[in-house]
Amino acid sequence: MFNEKKLVEDRNAKVSAMENIVKTAEAENRLPSDEEKAQFNNLKKEIADIDASLEMQKEVKNMDLKPVPGAPAASADEPTEADKKAIENKERKLFANALRGIRNENTTVNDGKVMIPTTVWNRIISKVEEICPIYERADKYNIKGNFVIPKDNGGDLEVAYADEFTDLEAGNVKISSIELKGFLAGALAKVSRSLINNTDFDIVGYVEAKMAEKISKFIEKELLHGTENKIEGLRGIANDMKVTTASANAITPDELMDVQDKLPDAYQGNAIWIMSRATRNKIRQLKDHEGDYILNRDLAAKWNYTLLGKDVYVSAQMDNIAAGKDVIFYGDFSGLAVKVSEGASMQVLNEKYATQHATGIVAWLEMDAKVADTEKIAKLTMHA
């Protein structure tokens, strides 16, 4: 059910905001501006929506649910799908208001930043996962602050017979730890004021798509290459999981097979290749010892190509073939630990891009990434 008290308070606040728009124009002896008219009409529509919601609640209160024969009883504390949808719609509407400059206590804090509602942030992150497969496949942690997780450096856990009152001997499993920190990053998107002022335009959906695009590009770049003294990403791949080509400008089929064989069979099931489009085009010309092409066009594959039986993902963030470059990654990317803190905030920059008739929107997040299981990911590096 809707929170009737909050709805009424929200309605009264909107009525007061409409009155202030009219009083401001009267006090300055002028007609309302186009922006004020847009805000007034937007508030008027939202008040009508609140009135409709209150009327719906009144009708629902007079209705009784009939039990479905044979159905289990629902928990009184568990929100229904209708409740979840209502919460999402309300949060999206409040967020749209905040983007259009209509302040409200639910989304705007004292320093002018706009808190991203959980439902909106979750949709942004889900879009990031669709765009960025390496992030989607990584082992993710949504935790604030620094924290430590175990790092598997390979080795075999020994199981042996033992006698009572004798010590077990440790095997050669090498377990250490890694610390994931919170490096601050910001993604900037500019939105046309004409779109923002258009109350019929889905401004929240547009911001979700733009932010997902910006964030996914940043995340993919950092996961693949990292930055010195910041996010490590796949720069932390172990030396024994690295294959270096004999040539500085060419790759052989045997070298690709060597990369694939770096992974134990237990981790081959979910392994994929990551490379640039130019590198993939070079590999298309390679054949195995029997004269068959090792890269195959496969419409049933997720990204339409397979190499040595595994899907090939092309990333614009990968380096092309050149001396000393890491040009191919192969592995099960759940071996990469990624932390993206929840509670991301967004700042609306109204003045900075006013001369462009645009509004800047910056989303802030904290993240870090390191290789947590060294046996799951390998790479191919060109000879220097």
Which sign does the torsion angle of CA 236, 241, 247, 252 carry? Answer: negative
Q: Residues, the chain, total? A: 384
Which range in 96-110, 111-125, 318-332 is most confidently predicted, on average pLDDT? 318-332
pLDDT at 1: 47
Please state, in angstroms and rounded to a whole number, the distance separating the CA atoms of residues 200 and 227. Answer: 42
Residue 104 pLDDT class (50, 70, 90 cuts): low
The DSSP bridge pattern shows strands 139-141 and 336-340 to be parallel
- Residues 99-121: b if buried by 16+ CB within 10 A, e if exposed: bbbbebeebbeeeebbbbbebbb
CA pair distance 375, 155, nearest whole angstrom: 9
The DSSP result for 181-244, as a single string, is --EEEEEEEEEEHHHHH-TTS-HHHHHHHHHHHHHHHHHHHHHHH--TTS--BGGG--GGGEEE
Whole-number pLDDT of residue 257: 96
| Most confident range, picked from 2-6, 17-21, 74-78 | 17-21
Percent of the chain with pLDDT over 70: 82
Mean pLDDT of 165-173: 56
CA distance 39 to 30: 17
Residue 256's φ and ψ, nearest 5 degrees, are -65, -40
Name residue, tokens 């069979």: 265
Query: Structural domain boundaries of the chain?
Result: 4-65+78-112, 113-157+168-384
Between 66 and 268, the more confident residue is 268
CATH architecture observed for domain 113-157+168-384: Alpha-Beta Complex (3.90)
- The model's confidence at residue 194, banded by pLDDT at 50, 70 and 90, is confident
Kindly list the distances between the CA atom of residue 126 and the CA atoms of 130, 132, 335, in Å, as whole numbers in the listed order.
6, 10, 20
222-247 average pLDDT score: 94
Across residues 281-298, what is the average pLDDT? 92
The DSSP bridge partners found for residue 140 are: 338
CA 113, CA 107: separation in Å to the nearest integer?
A: 8
Categorize the per-residue pLDDT at 158 as very low, low, confident or very high, splitting at 50, 70 and 90.
Answer: low
Number of neighbours of residue 14 by Cβ within 10 angstroms = 20
Closest among 327, 154, 332, 336 to 244, alpha carbons compared: 327
On average, the pLDDT of the chain sits at: 83
Mean pLDDT value of segment 2-25? 82
Q: CB 80: neighbour CB atoms within 10 A?
A: 10
Residue from 64, 80, 38, 381 nearest 196 by CA:
38
pLDDT at 56: 79
Give which of 342, 340, 337 is closest to 367, Cα–Cα: 340
Average of per-residue pLDDT across 57-84:
66
Query: 10 Å Cβ neighbour count for 258?
Result: 15
Q: What is the per-residue pLDDT for 35?
A: 86
The predicted structure's pLDDT at residue 65: 58
Model confidence pLDDT, tens digit, residues 114-151: 667 778 878 888 888 889 999 999 998 877 777 777 66
Local confidence band at 196 (pLDDT 50, 70, 90 cut-offs): confident
pLDDT tier for residue 96 given thresholds of 50, 70 and 90: confident
The CA radius of gyration of the chain, in Å to the nearest whole number, is 28
- Give the predicted TM-score (pTM) of the model: 0.68
Whether the Cβ atoms of residue 341 and residue 330 lie closer than 8 Å to each other: no
260-290: b or e for each residue (b if 16 or more CB lie within 10 Å)? bebbeeebeeebbbbbbeebbebbeebeeee
pLDDT for 165 beyond 80: no
| Sequence-ordered alpha helix ranges (H) in 233-276 | 253-261
* pLDDT of 359 strictly over 60: yes
Q: What is the mean pLDDT of residues 66-73?
A: 60
Distance CA 9, CA 104 (A): 11
Nearest to 38 by CA among 109, 97, 116: 97
Is 340 a residue whose pLDDT tops 80?
yes
Bridge partners (DSSP) of residue 89 are none
Tell me the pairing of strands 358-371 and 336-340: antiparallel
